[in-house]
Chain A
Amino acid sequence: MRNLIYILQKEFLLIFRDRTILRLIFIMPVMQLLLIPLAADYEVKHISIAVVDQDHSSESQRLVQKVGASNYFRIVATPADYAEATRLVEAGRTDLILTIPPHFSRVLATTGHASLQLAADAVNGVRAGLGTTYALAMVREFQSELHPSPKLAGGGVPLIEVTTASWYNPHVYYPAFMVPGLLAVLVTMVGAFLSSLNIVQEKEAGTIEQINVTPIRKYEFVLGKLIPFWVLGLLSITIGMVVAKLAFGLWPAGSFLTIYVFAALYLVGVLGIGLFISTLTDTQQQATLLSFFIMMIFVLLSGLYTPIESMPRWAQHIAAFNPPSYFVEVIRGVYIKGSTLRDLLPTLIRLAGFALVFNTLAVWSYRKRSS
């Protein structure tokens, strides 16, 4: 116990003198929380369209106007021919090309049939699919305006008014969804990177050998490393929550106690992972690479960017053993739905399990002497 106090004193002194760590603790939350929520907007909007009107009739102009007036599309160019329009697609300047062939209106008037060509840049499949469907719907509407169907009373298009309701996230505010998830990722990255690098740093500097010839016990050494980074991790989530409040006005719907209880437990597990990484590696370069590798898999499978239930079965199985996916779910639950400790009890037990497993691994694989 007495040794532990000396170790902690040393660790904290070193951390306070390390400007990189201090900066990271502040810059990382700010960067992550400001940048990603603002950037992560998957909504398909502002579909750009180039219209090649080779008909130049009043009907074709009405169609062009209709397209231009809709909320879905933005007409970015009216090239003279299809080839020119293709170059716009190549340059990434337009998503769709609508071609109205010569004599379109005359053919339509005389035969009752005419065709339009629609080409979509399908590199982004969702965007192309949605754009095409919008455009199709618009052409049908245009047609029904030209030739009202006799089938229906009133002669017009029946209006189906679609209203959408929002329950959990009434203003469909993206940061409300992204930020809590990012808080979870933040704690994961800070905890794992800092702790793994720190021990490897001591290996590279040779100071760990000086420690290993002393009578320090294994658990004292491991605790001496865990506690400071545990404190730093809690500090970083606190800073993160302040940033979330200041920048996005987000405040957990549930209690802070729930967040801190989970963060405290989760950090123990994450630090265990960091310690384990450091026992597997000899240089900071290796540790960086291994942490990055593991973190990448963790974060991508955490459900932060893509919902876990839309992953294939095998990936869902992996995600079930992925601590960050639970923590992301917890922080989101507390922030958005106001989940309570009792609601989340099963997850708490799971996270405790992770903490136990990784720390056991770390203590077991930390050797004061090599065999």
Chain B
Amino acid sequence: MSEWVIEAEQLTRRFGDFTAVDNISLQVAPGEIFGFLGANGAGKTTAMRIFCGLLEPTSGRARVAGFDAMSEAEKIKQQIGYMSQKFSLYGKLTVKENIRFFAGIYGLSRRELKEKSAEIVDRLGLASSADKQVDELPLGWKQRISFAVATVHKPKVVFLDEPTGGVDPIVRRQFWDMIYESAASGMTVFVTTHYMDEAEYCDRISIMVDGAIAVMGKPAELCAQHGVATIEDVFVSLARKATRQGD
């Protein structure tokens, strides 16, 4: 068993002539917060979907939580949480019903389920809205609920695909507090983001350009290497070289 929680070796995914993910390799250690950066269309979501067992790679190997993403995808699923770019809880179910459903299918016992539900409601300060349909809540809350639901079964790794898109800085800050908390409890966090300030919160980041990983390392080290002050500057200098247009 390797020490890495996420491991990719020369992972490639093509759609027809289009190579969405081009020969990427990376390792993420347990408890690490790994920032997966890149412009729109750089291939971040595709790579993440392969790790989650939603998409088969064209070639290469990926292991998540000790299982092979190609042959043991179903085993991976018990070990991971996933929060997609688009809000994807059931809008017509209440907060509690969503938690109960997802906790239930992750196999939590009835008692655990109750405790967990109360704990989440309490932690998010949702007491007054716990019986409201999720659709009625503001986006920032929805995202925090999604995160809570994605981690309800204490997965080894949680994959977050642009979790903070479209919300204000205060809510983003609250969201990152939740991420830190989870990481502190030993959970690995694999997160894609658009916000360069968020990149600085990560232990390590990689920047994808045209389907390939252009740079990888600690944020401070990358800034030093490129002789610039912020990750944003690193990003911009790399993004200029990109040939692909975002959608």
**Are B101 and A9 interface neighbours, CB within 8 A?**
yes
**Are B53 and A369 interface neighbours, CB within 8 A?**
yes
Q: Which of A215-250 contact B (CB under 8 A)?
A: 215-216
A17 lies within 8 A of chain B by Cβ: yes
**Are B92 and A369 interface neighbours, CB within 8 A?**
no
**Are B93 and A13 interface neighbours, CB within 8 A?**
yes
Partner-A contacts on B (CB < 8 A): 52-56, 73-74, 77-78, 80-82, 84, 86-93, 97, 100-102, 104-107, 133
Distance, CA A64 to CA B56, complexed state (A): 83
Distance, CA A216 to CA B52, complexed state (A): 14
Distance, CA A5 to CA B56, complexed state (A): 30
**Are B54 and A213 interface neighbours, CB within 8 A?**
yes
Stretch of A168-176, A203-211, A288-296 at the chain-chain interface = A203-211
Distance, CA A10 to CA B106, complexed state (A): 14
A6 lies within 8 A of chain B by Cβ: yes
Chain B CB count within 10 A is highest, among A5, A6, A18, A368, for: A6
Please pick, from A14, A216, A368, the residue contacting B90 in the complex, using a CB distance under 8 A. A14
Residues of the A chain whose Cβ atoms lie less than 8 Å from the Cβ of B91 = 205
A71 lies within 8 A of chain B by Cβ: no
A110 lies within 8 A of chain B by Cβ: no
**Are A371 and B56 interface neighbours, CB within 8 A?**
yes
Please pick, from B88, B97, B105, the residue contacting A209 in the complex, using a CB distance under 8 A. B88
**Are B97 and A13 interface neighbours, CB within 8 A?**
yes
**Are B82 and A213 interface neighbours, CB within 8 A?**
yes
Between A and B, 13 residue pairs with Cβ closer than 8 Å are A2-B104, A6-B104, A9-B104, A206-B84, A209-B88, A210-B84, A210-B89, A213-B52, A214-B106, A215-B78, A215-B107, A368-B74, A370-B56
**Are B77 and A10 interface neighbours, CB within 8 A?**
no
Distance, CA A63 to CA B195, complexed state (A): 94
**Are A10 and B90 interface neighbours, CB within 8 A?**
yes
Residues of the B chain whose Cβ atoms lie less than 8 Å from the Cβ of A371 = 55-56
Please pick, from B74, B88, B92, the residue contacting A215 in the complex, using a CB distance under 8 A. B74
A212 lies within 8 A of chain B by Cβ: yes
Q: What total of A-B pairs shows CB separation below 8 Å?
A: 79
Closest residue of chain A to B82 (Cβ to Cβ) is: A213
How many A residues, CB 8 Å from partner?
25
**Are B105 and A6 interface neighbours, CB within 8 A?**
yes
Distance, CA A207 to CA B84, complexed state (A): 9
Please pick, from A207, A214, A369, the residue contacting B105 in the complex, using a CB distance under 8 A. A214
Distance, CA A364 to CA B237, complexed state (A): 47
Please pick, from A13, A18, A206, A216, the residue contacting B86 in the complex, using a CB distance under 8 A. A206
Residues of the B chain whose Cβ atoms lie less than 8 Å from the Cβ of A18 = 92
**Are A212 and B54 interface neighbours, CB within 8 A?**
yes
Residues of the A chain whose Cβ atoms lie less than 8 Å from the Cβ of B78 = 215
**From residue B103, how far is it (CB to closest CB) to chain A in Å?**
9
Given A212-B54, A215-B105, residue A14 in contact with residue B92 (CB < 8 A): yes
Given A6-B100, A215-B105, A369-B73, residue A209 in contact with residue B54 (CB < 8 A): yes
**From residue B202, how far is it (CB to closest CB) to chain A in Å?**
22
Apart from A3-B107, A10-B97: 5 A-B pairs, beta carbons within 8 A: A5-B104, A7-B101, A9-B100, A13-B97, A17-B133
**From residue B107, how far is it (CB to closest CB) to chain A in Å?**
7
**Are B77 and A213 interface neighbours, CB within 8 A?**
yes
Residues of the A chain whose Cβ atoms lie less than 8 Å from the Cβ of B55 = 369-371
Instruction: Give 9 nearest A-B pairs by CB, closest first.
Output: A6-B104, A206-B88, A213-B82, A206-B86, A210-B88, A215-B77, A10-B101, A371-B56, A215-B78
Closest residue of chain A to B103 (Cβ to Cβ) is: A6
**Are B87 and A369 interface neighbours, CB within 8 A?**
no
Closest residue of chain B to A216 (Cβ to Cβ) is: B105
Residues of the B chain whose Cβ atoms lie less than 8 Å from the Cβ of A6 = 100-101, 104-105
Residues of the A chain whose Cβ atoms lie less than 8 Å from the Cβ of B81 = 213
**Per-position contact with B for A49-61: 1 when CB-CB < 8 Å, else 0?**
0000000000000
Please pick, from B53, B54, B88, B107, the residue contacting A207 in the complex, using a CB distance under 8 A. B88
